[in-house]
C-alpha cells in the first residue's frame, strides 16, 4: 500500500486516515489513487468511517460501498463496528487490486457483489458460511471482531486468517470467473497448474474435512486448505500473491530496504518478473518476521514456499497482474 500526502498541507497521510494533522478532511479517490481536495465524501463516511469519494449519483456511495448489497442489522450488538471493520478491509483489498487495474474505470468487466452478514440477528444467532457464487461474495462479519478472529484462527489451525485474507480469497474465486469468461485459453492453463476445476467440489470438500490435507501438502500447496480442490488451490495461492505484492509494496513505501532490494522507487505492482517478486517479498517477510518476534508477536508471514508452490504463485501472479490478459 502506498503512503499518501494531504492535498492541503502535503503532510504524510495513510490510506485509512480520515483527517490530516492540519485539520483537513481526507477523501480518497481510487481512480487517482490519491487523497483529493474538494471531493464529496461517501455517504457512509459518518456511519462507518468510509473515507472514499462518492461516485454513485443516486446513492452518493463510493465504488467500494456500492458493491455491498446487504449489510447487517446495525441495531444488533456490535454489528455496526463489525461492518465498519470489514468495509475497511474491503477498501484496502480493492485499492491494491486497482494497482493491477481490477475494478477501475479501465476495467470493463463486472465488479463483485458483497453480502456482509452477521451471526447476530434480531431472530437470534444464525450460521453464516463465507463463500463466492456467481459473482456474489458472502462474508461472515463475526471475524471482524479481533478476539473472534484469533479464536477461529487457532481453532482451525490456520497460520493466516484475517478479514483482509478472507476478502482476497473470495475475490480470487470471482477473478477466476472473470478470467475464464474473458480468455478461452485460461481454463486449460489453469488445469495444468492447479488441477481440474470441474472436479466435484462438494465431494472434494467432504474428503478434505473428513481426512484432512495429505501428509505432503507443504510440498505442493500454499496451505492445507489449498489441497481440497483446484478452486481452493487457486484462491489460496492468488490471495498469497496479493499478500506478497502488498507486503513488499508497503515495506518499500515505508522506506525499508534490504540487500536484495535497495531501490525505494521499486513498484511491486509493476513487477513483471514473478520469480523476482516472490523471492524479494520472501526476503522481506523473513526480515519482518524477525522484527515481530522482537516484541513477542507472531510472524507476519509464516510460510515457506516449495518450488511447486513458487510455480503456482508465478502463474497466479501472471494472470492477476495483467499478464493474464495475454492468455491465448
4: Cα separation from own chain's centroid: 20
Confidence at residue 159, expressed as pLDDT on a 0 to 100 scale: 87
pLDDT at 323: 56
Structural domain ending residue among the three candidates 145, 160, 175: 160
- The single residue listed with the C-alpha cell 458483497 is 114
Q: Are residues 239 and 313 in the same domain?
A: yes
Is residue 168, in this structure, part of any structural domain at all?
no
* SS3 assignment for 163-223: HHHHHHHHHHHHHHHHHHHHCCCHHHHHHHHHCCCCCCHHHHHHHHHHHCCCCCHHHHCCC
Mean pLDDT of successive 10-residue segments in the chain (328 residues)? 97 97 97 96 97 92 98 95 98 98 94 96 92 97 93 88 96 97 93 96 95 95 97 98 97 94 92 95 95 95 95 96 56
pLDDT of residue 158: 87
Is residue 32 situated within a structural domain?
yes
| Same domain, residue pair 103 and 30 | no
Q: Are residues 252 and 312 in the same domain?
A: yes
Give pLDDT, residue 324: 47
Q: Are 31 and 114 contained in the same domain?
A: no
How do 34-35 and 28-29 pair as beta strands?
A: antiparallel
Instruction: Match 456482509 to its residue by C-alpha cell.
Output: 116
- Residues with Cβ < 8 Å from 324, sequence gap 6 or more? 179, 183, 186, 318
Which cell numbers in the block locate residue 280?
Answer: 524479494
Name the residue range of residue 74's domain: 67-160
CB distance 14 to 3 below 8 Å: yes
Does 251 map to a domain? yes
Other C-beta atoms closer than 10 Å to the C-beta of 176 total 22
The answer to whether residues 328 and 195 belong to one domain is yes
Same domain, 44 and 76: no
| Of the candidates 98, 135, 113, 56, the residue with the CA atom closest to the CA atom of residue 246 | 98
Q: Is residue 299 part of a domain?
A: yes
**Residues 78 and 50 both lie in one domain:** no
Say whether both 100 and 119 belong to one domain. yes
Rounded distance between C-alpha atoms, residue 146 and residue 216, angstroms: 32
Are 78 and 40 within one domain?
Answer: no
Is the same domain home to 310 and 252?
yes
Q: What is the DSSP string of 34-58?
A: EE-TTPPBPTTHHHH---BBP--TT
- Which of 282, 242, 298, 283 has its CA nearest to residue 95? 242
Please indicate, yes or no, if residue 176 is contained in any of the structural domains.
no
Grid cell, residue 140, equals 461472515
Is residue 15 within 8 Å of residue 5, measured between CB atoms? no
Domain count, the chain: 3
Of 59, 75, 90, the position where a domain reaches its end is 59
**Residue 192 and residue 185 in contact, taking contact as beta carbons nearer than 8 Å:** no
Boundary of a domain, candidates 59, 81, 96: 59
With a CB cutoff of 8 Å and minimum separation 6, the contacts of 179 are: 186, 319, 324, 327
Q: Are residues 230 and 125 in the same domain?
A: no
Residue 292 lies in a domain: yes
Does 226 map to a domain? yes
Whether residues 86 and 221 fall in one domain: no
pLDDT for position 18 = 96
Domain membership of residue 12 (yes or no) is yes
Say what the pTM is.
0.95
Amino acid at each position: 500500500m502506498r503512503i499518501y500526502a494531504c492535498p492541503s498541507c502535503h503532510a504524510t497521510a495513510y490510506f485509512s486516515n480520515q483527517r490530516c494533522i492540519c485539520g483537513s478532511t481526507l477523501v480518497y479517490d481510487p481512480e487517482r489513487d490519491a487523497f483529493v481536495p474538494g471531493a464529496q465524501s461517501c455517504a457512509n463516511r459518518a456511519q462507518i468511517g468510509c473515507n472514499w469519494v462518492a461516485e454513485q449519483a443516486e446513492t452518493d456511495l463510493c465504488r467500494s460501498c456500492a458493491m455491498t448489497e446487504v449489510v447487517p442489522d446495525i441495531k444488533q450488538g456490535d454489528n455496526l463496528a463489525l461492518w465498519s471493520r470489514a468495509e475497511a478491509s474491503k477498501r484496502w483489498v480493492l485499492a491494491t487490486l486497482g494497482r493491477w487495474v481490477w475494478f477501475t474505470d479501465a476495467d470493463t468487466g463486472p465488479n463483485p457483489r458483497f453480502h456482509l452478514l452477521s451471526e447476530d440477528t434480531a431472530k437470534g444467532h444464525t450460521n453464516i458460511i463465507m463463500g463466492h457464487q456467481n459473482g456474489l461474495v458472502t462474508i461472515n462479519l463475526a471475524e471482524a471482531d479481533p478476539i473472534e478472529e484469533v479464536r477461529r484462527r487457532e481453532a482451525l489451525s490456520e497460520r493466516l486468517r484475517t478479514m483482509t485474507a478472507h476478502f482476497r480469497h473470495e475475490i480470487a474465486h470471482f477473478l477466476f470467473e472473470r478470467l475464464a469468461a474473458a480468455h478461452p485459453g485460461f481454463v486449460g492453463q489453469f488445469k495444468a497448474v492447479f488441477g481440474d476445476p470441474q472436479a466435484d467440489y462438494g465431494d472434494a470438500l467432504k474428503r478434505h474435512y473428513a481426512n484432512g490435507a495429505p501428509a505432503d501438502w507443504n510440498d505442493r500447496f500454499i496451505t492445507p486448505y489449498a489441497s481440497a480442490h483446484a478452486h481452493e488451490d487457486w484462491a489460496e495461492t492468488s490471495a498469497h500473491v496479493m499478500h506478497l505484492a502488498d507486503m513488499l509494496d508497503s515495506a518499500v513505501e515505508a522506506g525499508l530496504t534490504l540487500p536484495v532490494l535497495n531501490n525505494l522507487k521499486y513498484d511491486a505492482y509493476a513487477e513483471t518478473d514473478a520469480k523476482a517478486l516472490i523471492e524479494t517479498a520472501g526476503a522481506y517477510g523473513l526480515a519482518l518476521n524477525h522484527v515481530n518476534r522482537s516484541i513477542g508477536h507472531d510472524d507476519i508471514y509464516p510460510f515457506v514456499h516449495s518450488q511447486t508452490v513458487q510455480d503456482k504463485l508465478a502463474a497466479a501472479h501472471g494472470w492477476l497482474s495483467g499478464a493474464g490478459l495475454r492468455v491465448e
